[in-house]
Structure 1
């Protein structure tokens, strides 16, 4: 089985070349310590972190810290900083070796290990290159309304079968469209934002495993993919809500657009929200400025439908709709805090 089958490929990222401090052992201060428990803790700005979103020392960052009531305060502080001195390209699975330049993990072994325990969230340190890239895209693509604060970024692991079906679909679209020869990623794959109902605290504190609450559509998506959502959409009548472009899976280039659908039904007053960053096989999009709730698949020769915004368009912001569950996978989760009063 090929390397690309076992590991989820990501768009090529630029590795920061600033000098990085060597990782500090969590046992550098004496005897082995108790099992770490993720808690709220202050975020320390590192000199090689280039992303201004994280450089507000007054904010707090939700990241795993070796914190225990028996630790001396100065030891807690040192351990917190030691975790943030991890290399910015560390493999999210083993956290020891540098990740492969074209993949999320460092090796086939780490990819297989992640797939065996999938699906789950893998925390990305604020200065990790994947975290910086996703948070930067999230903030730059926020168009309307007060900007939120990014609290944490996670990568979402996939089972081997989920990886395989996504790759097979993408390869088929690439074979038809030959996008790579024109400088695009295979299948014209792109990252797009999507939000939905969350009925738990996934992403907060130590909660990195999706729940089984039937009302939690976010965890359902992470566990089961988009097929259950697609089936629900197909049961909605053509005059029902949320089907401006038919019964498909909707994403957007705009994070503020996606945020309109972020709903915490477990705590409606909470300002902490979660958003998915999805890998979407766009292929050849059919561009339209008109709503058509009767669509069930793209027109012949196209792979998705793109609602293009404009002065004479029915769409204020862009919408990409795919009609095949294998065309899309949830790849990252962004935890963020909305602005007061937003």
Structure 2
């Protein structure tokens, strides 16, 4: 999101005027160190007027407004509670929020939006024993057994468990990851990207619980989930997925039978990772075209690459997922040095699935009258598979980082 041209001209003009009028001062007034020390400390916005003196004490600032401005500037950008109610940018607090004619966005520009997201992802975790709510350093509530809880109060518990993944200042709306339309819009406009989900969040719990519940291989223990990220796809990817979902729903009427639109389900997919995306809060994609994980998250799945690394497909040329996390774990591997593994949880339009128990490697589409193939346990399969044959039928939704 970029600022309107008029805003850019105003800012440029102000800088030019400051340069013109301050240049003479630099050679005379500011040449005296003693005089400079008596000027208001708010810099560069003031430092022109003398400090206020009440007769017994000389204060650092010339006025209450400069004192208040200095107080705000000592807070980390984007964390001031008053910013969200202000007409100025929630991050820099200086320039007006961007208005596109329909809504007012939290930030003045795309750069402030990205800087705010980077700061949120790098923000230090709360000290052990303190409240988990963002910005709160109060002691966490003590449990009856003497152990420390996660939050200082019920209100902060609710906030921490439901906080907006974009601004991290207010509770998210039901059925959304964001608190308001502006946050959803900004996230979508800045996609593709990943947003880290706090460990105490309801969404973190939902994803981690599914990972654990669907770990069905008895010969390997289920590892702990360490981090979960929400994947924000590009507008084009989201539009394609939603259009396909509407088409399948209109044909199958799944909502009428109590299912989700298009019979949407969440399924796992393991793939190769060539970088440390997701490790220790790293949200930066790598530039390698061979890193399957980064490529999938940035541009979704590409059926033309089906079988490129395995050499074949049990049910033909399709995109494979599974409801069994431990099965998809078999396909997750690192081509980098890491203490963790990565796996994707995806939204998949199942539609009307054709159940198969035997190999059909020549398929390039589901059998007539069906939208997908359900490879069922039994026959040649030890655990389930779901196969779709069009890119629009699947969208990566969460990146999960877990121990090997």
Query: Which TM-score band applies after superposition, normalised by the shorter structure?
Result: 0.7 to 0.9
Tell me the residue number matched to 2:350. 282
1:115–1:157 Cα contact (<8 Å) kept: yes
> Is 2:254 aligned against 1:211?
no
Give SS of 1:329's match. Answer: strand
**Structure with more of its chain in helix, by fraction:** 2
Distance (Å, rounded) in 1 between the aligned partners of 2:181 and 2:76: 31
Unmatched 5+ stretches in structure 1: 1-27, 37-62, 68-74
Give SS of 1:88's match. Answer: helix
Q: Which has the larger radius of gyration?
A: 2
After TM superposition, the score normalised by the length of structure 1 is: 0.73
1:279–1:329 Cα contact (<8 Å) kept: yes
Tell me the residue number matched to 1:254. 324
Tell me the residue number matched to 1:174. 249
Comparing 142-151 with 82-91, greater Cα deviation is found at 82-91
2:196–2:281 Cα contact (<8 Å) kept: no
1:322, CA displacement in angstroms?
0.4
**Among 392, 396, 403, which residue is 1:326 paired with?**
392
1:65–1:80 Cα contact (<8 Å) kept: no
Unmatched 5+ stretches in structure 2: 1-70, 80-120, 135-149, 152-158
**Among 360, 368, 372, which residue is 1:304 paired with?**
372
Give SS of 1:231's match. Answer: helix
1:241, CA displacement in angstroms?
2.7
Distance (Å, rounded) in 1 between the aligned partners of 2:281 and 2:204: 18
**Among 89, 96, 114, which residue is 2:169 paired with?**
96
1:100, CA displacement in angstroms?
1.9
1:31, CA displacement in angstroms?
4.7
Give SS of 1:205's match. Answer: helix
Higher relative contact order (CA 8 A, sep 6+): 1
| Matched residue count | 268
Distance (Å, rounded) in 2 between the aligned partners of 1:66 and 1:79: 13
Tell me the residue number matched to 2:75. 32
Matches within 5 A, 1:125-140: 125-140=198-213
1:87, CA displacement in angstroms?
2.5
- 1:216–1:127: structure 2 CA closer, same or farther, 3 Å change rule? same
1:65, CA displacement in angstroms?
4.4
1:95, CA displacement in angstroms?
1.4
**Among 227, 230, 240, which residue is 1:152 paired with?**
227
1:114–1:158 Cα contact (<8 Å) kept: no
**Structure with more of its chain in strand, by fraction:** 1
After TM superposition, the score normalised by the length of structure 2 is: 0.62
Distance (Å, rounded) in 2 between the aligned partners of 1:247 and 1:76: 50
Post-superposition Cα deviations, 1:195-252, rounded to whole Å, max 9, x if no partner, equal 100000000124213222111001000111112xx1122779xxx7341111100000
- 1:307–1:123: structure 2 CA closer, same or farther, 3 Å change rule? same
1:272, CA displacement in angstroms?
0.6
1:82, CA displacement in angstroms?
4.3
> Is 2:181 aligned against 1:108?
yes
Post-superposition Cα deviations, 1:9-51, rounded to whole Å, max 9, x if no partner, equal xxxxxxxxxxxxxxxxxxx9x9535999xxxxxxxxxxxxxxx
- Would you identify which runs of 4 or more consecutive aligned residues in structure 1 move more than 6 Å? none
1:212–1:220 Cα contact (<8 Å) kept: no
Distance (Å, rounded) in 1 between the aligned partners of 2:209 and 2:129: 28
Tell me the residue number matched to 2:266. 191
- 1:255–1:234: structure 2 CA closer, same or farther, 3 Å change rule? closer
Distance (Å, rounded) in 2 between the aligned partners of 1:111 and 1:162: 15
2:161–2:200 Cα contact (<8 Å) kept: yes
1:97, CA displacement in angstroms?
2.4
Give SS of 1:276's match. Answer: strand
Matches within 5 A, 1:32-71: 32=75, 64-66=122-124
Give SS of 2:173's match. Answer: coil
Distance (Å, rounded) in 2 between the aligned partners of 1:133 and 1:206: 20
- 1:199–1:31: structure 2 CA closer, same or farther, 3 Å change rule? same
Q: CA RMSD in A?
A: 2.5
